[in-house]
């Protein structure tokens, strides 16, 4: 089953495309990291997935064919928007009461249990909570729906390092307990390798690369060798990025089953190196053709 599938998906605001020609098939059972800089199209893709906006081109479905925004899809998806929209003047207990009335599949025991475990004062107004506490409350409301898929839009953006760590620990605990599929957007690359097993990279409204993390790490390598030979020697290796410094060049590429060029050595890469390579120059990285050369 695919939790998200799109074909030629695009979203245009007036004359500007926020997302264009996006083709995805994301299987269930993964923690998916949607990565890209501000303005990359991450929020647009998530809003299309939950039915908050409509596509200008192409199509998108969730959970093997459900239309985004349909009753069946809304019941199966827990969504936390970037600014954790909560009623700031309501006490925590009243916020949960409101959420219970809006969600037919609400698990009251789970919601109250998480609030108690997190130490959130039930009579304290939401606006008086810390940023980390508000994020945890929003996550609690999403989880209390007992969703099949959890979609989080930049949940870490406004949190300090300790709050980020606590939020991700809480999230991964829920994934282990419920077997959830999770799709979360982030520009905090350092958080990815610890939690995500599936990666989607967007930049400038275009899909750069997607796939299971283990597969991406297995199919991307770093070739290191003489600078003057780098471009010619690695042309057949689907280079993503060439970084030239001093007498040596580092070439991040997809080498397939070709012998390593003479004078070059091959090295494993980290997820962060793969992500950053595809973010450096999206037009060169995403499309077939010459690699970008960094001097």
Pair (265, 123) in one structural domain? no
Pair (139, 192) in one structural domain? yes
**What CATH number does residue 210 fall under?**
3.40.50.300
> Where is the domain boundary, 158, 186, 214?
214
User: What are the tokens at 173?
Assistant: 């605990």
d(CA 209, CA 26): 12
Pair (208, 256) in one structural domain? no
The pLDDT tens digits for 149-166 are 999 998 877 788 888 888
Range of the domain at 281: 220-294
The pLDDT tens digits for 181-220 are 999 998 777 777 788 999 999 999 999 999 999 999 999 9
d(CA 278, CA 150): 26
pLDDT of residue 227: 92
- Of the candidates 175, 123, 114, 179, the residue with the CA atom closest to the CA atom of residue 141: 114
The dihedral region occupied by 291, where left means phi > 0, alpha psi between -120 and 50, and beta the remainder, is: beta
pLDDT greater at residue 291 or residue 109 = 109
pLDDT of residue 82: 80
Domain count, the chain: 2
pLDDT of residue 281: 59
Mean pLDDT of the chain: 89
Pair (64, 157) in one structural domain? yes
């Amino acid at each position: 089953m695919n939790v998200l599938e799109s074909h030629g998906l695009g979203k245009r605001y007036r004359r500007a495309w926020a997302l264009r020609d996006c083709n995805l098939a994301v299987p269930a059972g993964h923690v998916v990291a949607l990565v890209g800089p501000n303005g990359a199209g991450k929020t647009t893709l998530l809003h299309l997935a939950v039915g908050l906006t409509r596509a200008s081109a192409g199509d998108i479905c969730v959970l093997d064919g459900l239309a985004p925004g349909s009753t069946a899809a809304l019941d199966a998806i827990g969504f936390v928007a970037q600014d954790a929209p909560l009623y700031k003047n309501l006490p925590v207990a009243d916020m949960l009461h409101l959420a219970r009335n809006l969600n037919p599949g609400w698990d009251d025991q789970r919601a109250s249990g998480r609030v108690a475990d997190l130490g959130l004062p039930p009579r304290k107004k939401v606006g008086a909570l810390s940023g980390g506490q508000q994020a945890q409350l929003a996550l609690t409301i999403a989880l209390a729906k007992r969703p099949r898929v959890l979609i989080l839009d930049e949940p870490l953006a406004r949190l300090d390092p300790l709050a980020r760590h606590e939020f991700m620990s809480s999230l991964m605990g829920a994934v282990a307990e419920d077997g959830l599929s999770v799709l979360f957007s982030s520009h905090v690359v350092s958080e990815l390798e610890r939690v995500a097993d599936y990666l989607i990279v967007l930049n400038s409204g275009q899909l750069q690369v997607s796939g299971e993390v283990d597969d991406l790490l297995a199919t991307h390598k770093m070739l290191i060798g003489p600078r003057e030979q780098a471009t010619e020697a690695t042309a057949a290796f689907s280079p993503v990025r060439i970084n030239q410094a001093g007498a040596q060049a580092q070439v991040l590429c997809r080498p397939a089953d070709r012998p390593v060029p003479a004078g070059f050595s091959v090295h494993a890469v980290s997820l962060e190196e793969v992500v950053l390579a595809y973010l450096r120059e999206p037009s060169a990285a995403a499309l077939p053709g010459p690699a970008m050369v960094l001097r």
